[in-house]
Amino acid sequence: MTEIVKGLRLVEVSAFIAAPYAGLTLAQMGADVIRIDPVGGGLDYRRWPVTQENRSLYWAGLNKGKRSIMLNVREAKGRELAHALMTKEGPNSGIVLTNLPARGWLDYEGLKAKRNDLIMLGITGNRDGSIALDYTVNAAAGFPQVTGPEGHDGPVNHVMPMWDVVAGLSAVNGILAAERRRRETGEGQFISLALADTAFSTLSHLGYIGEVQINGDDRPGTGNQVYGTFGCDFSTSDERRVMITAFTPRHWQALQKATGTEDQIATLANELDLDLTKEEARWAARDRIIDILEPWFSDHTLDEVRIALDGAGACWGPYQSFTQAVQEDRRISIENPMFEEVNQPGIGRYLASGPMLDFGKDPRTPVTPAPLLGGNTDEILACELGLGEGEIGRLHDDGIVAGAMA
């Protein structure tokens, strides 16, 4: 964690990935993020992967550093408490993050009547409020059609829910920009973000829309090769696989030097009359380049490949399973200051990541595990809303709030 936005306070009402990821990002930068869940937990409380004891590693991962309160918002009193937290005074408070429909008890205008400068960010599936999830958005955006081994018939989904993560980080941008604006003007606002639009805007930003509308082209599937440049995977003699890229002249030189293929490549360039220092020429000649490189990789072990390529300054990386990544890659260990071992209640000790950003003047502070569901209910009611012990007891008795669930 870090304290760069210390003081900032958000209330999060969320499930699944995008909104929790946004809250996590802000919590790890030092914001006080209060996650409100229904009694017993939200839709994502038991989401897989889970431990043998049915604790969700997913939930624990996405809620590190937050505080948790369980409120029954189907009751008027529960909604009143939620609203009091959302609209509490203070220049750094009055920020709400949600991916639930922003209506009913989460209606912006209703909340704004209680705090005029409220900032609220709502994530939807599609812009019109209709349903879309990462997997359906990705299917619509075109990527699965060109992903997968060459010759494979049918779409290949991504495993990593990237549009959720993109939406989460974009939501943080929105909140920080709106809070900056509030400091300038005193005004809050509602910000909306559609998961589908994160993918569709990226199609514009990376040139895919231009390919269709200007070139009349559909980007072809290229297997593991990187379109328009040189990027390809190879097998090593010890049955590992490596991804090699040579996008820049420097990396292209380094690759030839490491593999001792300068002469063969020069001969090829002559034969094809291509300037192979250019990306588009390497793309045009890719099959021939692969033929030249392949024997070298299949003659060397991963360790030999590593020494040669690192020595020459080539750009490459080994393929790793999740287990190999976690067990063998020092970048995923406490040697990386981003990682720490945390003791996650109910789960145990394991490696957890703090923020991906390093702030020179706001150094890292310990990574805080996820709370127990409802683990901060009483403390929040007492300290944030000023309720007395008796009142808190009655709220428990009436089923309006609930405390830590084991």
Active-site positions read: 164
Give the C-alpha separation, 381 to 315, whole Å.
Answer: 53
Give the C-alpha separation, 279 to 40, whole Å.
Answer: 55
Of residues 272, 307, 325, 383, which one binds a copy of itself by CB under 8 A? 325
Two tokens at 207? 């040139």
Which residue reads 């829309």 in tokens?
209
307 counts as binding a copy of itself under rule CB under 8 A: no
**Beta carbons of 28 and 5 less than 8 angstroms apart:** no
Nearer residue to a copy of itself within complex by CB, 49 or 390: 49
Of residues 89, 90, 287, 321, which one binds a copy of itself by CB under 8 A? 321
Q: How far is the CB of 97 from a copy of itself (least distance, A)?
A: 13
Nearer residue to a copy of itself within complex by CB, 280 or 389: 280
286 counts as binding a copy of itself under rule CB under 8 A: no
Residues 100-159 close enough to bind a copy of itself by CB under 8 A: 108, 125-127, 130-133, 135-149, 152, 154-159
Which stretches of 229-272 are DSSP H helices? 249-259, 262-272
Chain centre distance of CA 192: 18
Nearer residue to a copy of itself within complex by CB, 147 or 264: 147
Of residues 75, 80, 107, 211, which one binds a copy of itself by CB under 8 A? 211
Nearer residue to a copy of itself within complex by CB, 222 or 264: 222
Buried residues in 4-40 as b, exposed as e (16+ CB within 10 A):
bbeebbbbbbbbbbbbbbbbbbbbbbbbbbbbbbbbe
208 counts as binding a copy of itself under rule CB under 8 A: yes
Two tokens at 128? 């019109």
Q: Which of 291, 281, 279, 293 is nearest to 244 (CA)?
A: 293
The interface region with a copy of itself, picked from 41-49, 293-301, 376-384, 387-395 by CB under 8 A, is 41-49
Of residues 40, 104, 129, 207, which one binds a copy of itself by CB under 8 A? 207
Residues 345-384 close enough to bind a copy of itself by CB under 8 A: 347-348, 350-362
Of residues 23, 41, 78, 174, which one binds a copy of itself by CB under 8 A? 174
Q: How far is the CB of 157 from a copy of itself (least distance, A)?
A: 4
Two tokens at 76? 């008027």
Of residues 292, 315, 404, 405, which one binds a copy of itself by CB under 8 A? 315
Of residues 45, 80, 107, 181, which one binds a copy of itself by CB under 8 A? 181
Give the C-alpha separation, 174 to 157, whole Å.
Answer: 28
The interface region with a copy of itself, picked from 94-102, 217-225, 291-299, 393-401 by CB under 8 A, is 217-225
**Beta carbons of 148 and 223 less than 8 angstroms apart:** yes
Q: Positive or negative, the Cα torsion across 145, 147, 148, 150? A: positive
